[in-house]
A and B are shown apart, each in its own frame.
Chain A
Amino acid sequence: MKLRLVIVVANAAGWLSRITKKGSGVMVTGRIILKLVPSAVQTLSKSRKVILISGTNGKTTTTSLIYHALSSQGPVVSNFTGANLFAGIAAALSKNQAAPVAVLEVDEMVIPWAMKQTNPRLIVLLNLGRDQLDRLSEVRVVAQKWKVALATAQAHCAVLADSDDPFVTWAAQDCVNVIWFTSGAVGHIDASTCPECGKVLEWNTHLTSYSCTCGFKKPNPEWILRDGELTGPNNQKVGVQSGIPGAAALGNAARAIVAAKAFGVPIDKAASEIAKVLSVDGRFGSLKIGRTNFRLLLSKNPASWRETLATSAQGPKAVALVVNANTQDGKDTSWLWDVDFSPLANRTVIATGERRLDLSARLTVAGIKHEVCADEGAAAKVFGAVDADIIASYTAFHRLSKQVKPS
């Protein structure tokens, strides 16, 4: 009874915060719930089947895709706007308590807590790479936290883990019930040493497999995504299509199909529901600034920049890059030098954002011709009436995503 009352009050406060334009209201709701009933997440998870999704890149997209696939079967709650810390999770679970399924995006560092609180049936682990080194610490510290938490997972909790990623593999390999997945991803910029013993990790020539003299190696995947086709145990097959552009999105669509199947959705049905999703929380949404029609893309760390630059290269010639260095972006911009910006050659490039000078220095040395603009309004004046991509780091992305036209 007490929790129910708290939820009503907290959601009313969230609503108030939203209509007074203080914020989305999600954080307010979640904070009030956890403050007044610290065990709320545990209670709200009890009668539900919970899926947790985590990893450096692709969390929000994968969560949304799984949500859409499962929604075809019945009501689902989810935090698919990316509020993936304690309060965001509590707020999501406080909605529609009749919904028997919860699909929750979880920050990498919050996985141990979320596992304890929600007793999940499925954990989807995407990848681990360098990201916000000033906040999240080094990759193997995160992997170690996961490994300790995952060792406690019981047989009723399946772990869908990416075998292409040595850190994910290492963290998940002791689980009782693990489902290995591969999308044929190549190499890993942070996995030069073995997560198990610290020796130099051996990669094959195509960088599709790895092993170490200590015995650590890439496991055999059960689910394989190759050339747009997903193959699983007993030779079950389904074509994978993504309405969201890029190779990473296709991999996330395939993972979402496997996750939905574990929750009873036939793979053909899951695949068709997932293919309908065109944009997630502003990603690849469109917005008009001045006379320029922008398509908005998110990039937040070297791995996601690599992916986004490749995807954007198939798009319009004009591209603006927005780099900030607030807490949520990571305050250290050194990572700019770990990104290969050569896919920008021969495009019309504008550097902007609070750290445009760091970006401009990087592009100068990379030999990428560009202009520096104070903000995206100035960039739009330079571009004029054309289509352009705007690739933004985290805080800039969230500011701009508020202007995205509903599709």
Chain B
Amino acid sequence: MTLTLVHLLPELLGTYGDRGNVEIASWRLKQRGIAHEVITVHAGDRVPVSADLYFLGGGEDDAQVAAREILERDGAMRKVINNGGHIFAVCAGFQLLGASFPASGDRTIIGLGILPVDTFAATPRSVGELLSESTIGIGMLTGFENHAGQTGYLDEIQPLGNVISGVGNAQASTVDGVVTDQVVATYMHGPAFSRNPDLADWVLARKVGELKPLAAPIFTQLHQERVANIK
């Protein structure tokens, strides 16, 4: 059976180049000869609920609220999880998987409730390079964060990284993102898969099993350069 990647709502959750994660995932699979297809879901489309790996990116306030409405319809994302689908989510995409998130006009929007996290508004925005040590055994993770929301855990869950430089989930915390059985979430733009090829492969391998090594030196060089730049 062909592997299916789903790019969710790029026009709403695509402000920070996170579409790159989908392109890179597809490219890395293709280089290894692994058959797959990429479905892009636009605002008017139905969300397919039995695909393999879903991508959510960052976006602006109103777009995040509009995206949440579409993803909530018919309990689509809940069905995705029940059907064993995996999700890779960044920034606004991360926030909307939680219990609630802030929006313009001091509103609090109920999230999709897939992750036991909650996000509240704070100033100033957290903007800049984000460097963390991964909790999943793949070394350093590097990205660029840009978010006002501060995310806290509602339960004991595993972060994606322990922050070395930058903010991550919240000013008051020392971690970035979340890892659960089916979800990997982070505040790292960059995009994350471009700067962190091992993260891309780790997320893919959880769905397709062990991957052959891939000679793609540019991504390794980029990763090393970004990490060295911050340290």
Contact = CB atoms under 8 A, between A and B. Distances in A.
B37 interface: no
Contact of B14 (A198, A338, A364): A338
A229 interface: no
B194 A337 contact: yes
A331 B190 CA distance: 11
B165 interface: no
A190 B190 CA distance: 18
A294 B11 CA distance: 36
Interface residues of A, number: 30
A227 to B, nearest CB: 29
Given A337-B17, A358-B222, A364 B216 contact: yes
A193 B66 CA distance: 8
B123 to A, nearest CB: 12
A198 B218 CA distance: 40
Interface in A88-143: 130, 133-134, 137-140
Nearest to B70: A200
A362 B66 contact: no
Interface stretch (B18-26, B113-121, B150-158, B205-213): B18-26
B43 A362 contact: no
Nearest to A365: B27
A389 to B, nearest CB: 23
B138 interface: no
A358 B194 contact: yes
B62 A193 contact: yes
Interface in A331-365: 331-338, 357-358, 360-362, 364-365
Given A192-B11, A198-B66, A361 B218 contact: yes
A156 interface: no
Given A133-B146, A192-B43, A332-B189, A338 B17 contact: yes
Contacts, number: 95
A362 B194 contact: yes
Contact of B219 (A194, A337, A361): A361
A133 B145 CA distance: 11
B229 to A, nearest CB: 10
Contacts of A199: 66
Interface in A175-205: 190, 192-194, 198-200
A134 B127 contact: yes
Given A130-B15, A134-B127, A364-B218, A334 B24 contact: no
Contacts of B190: 332-334
B127 A334 contact: no
B92 to A, nearest CB: 11
Contacts of B11: 192
Interface string B130-168: 000000000000001010000000000000000000000
A134 B146 contact: yes
Interface in B171-230: 189-191, 194, 216, 218-219, 221-222, 225
Q: What 8 A-B pairs are tightest by C-beta distance, nearest first? A: A334-B17, A337-B20, A198-B62, A337-B17, A192-B11, A357-B222, A332-B144, A334-B189
13 contacts: A134-B144, A138-B15, A139-B60, A193-B62, A198-B63, A332-B16, A334-B18, A334-B144, A334-B190, A357-B222, A361-B219, A362-B20, A364-B218
Given A334-B16, A337-B23, 9 more contacts: A133-B15, A133-B146, A193-B66, A200-B43, A332-B144, A336-B17, A337-B19, A357-B218, A365-B20
Interface of A: 130, 133-134, 137-140, 190, 192-194, 198-200, 331-338, 357-358, 360-362, 364-366
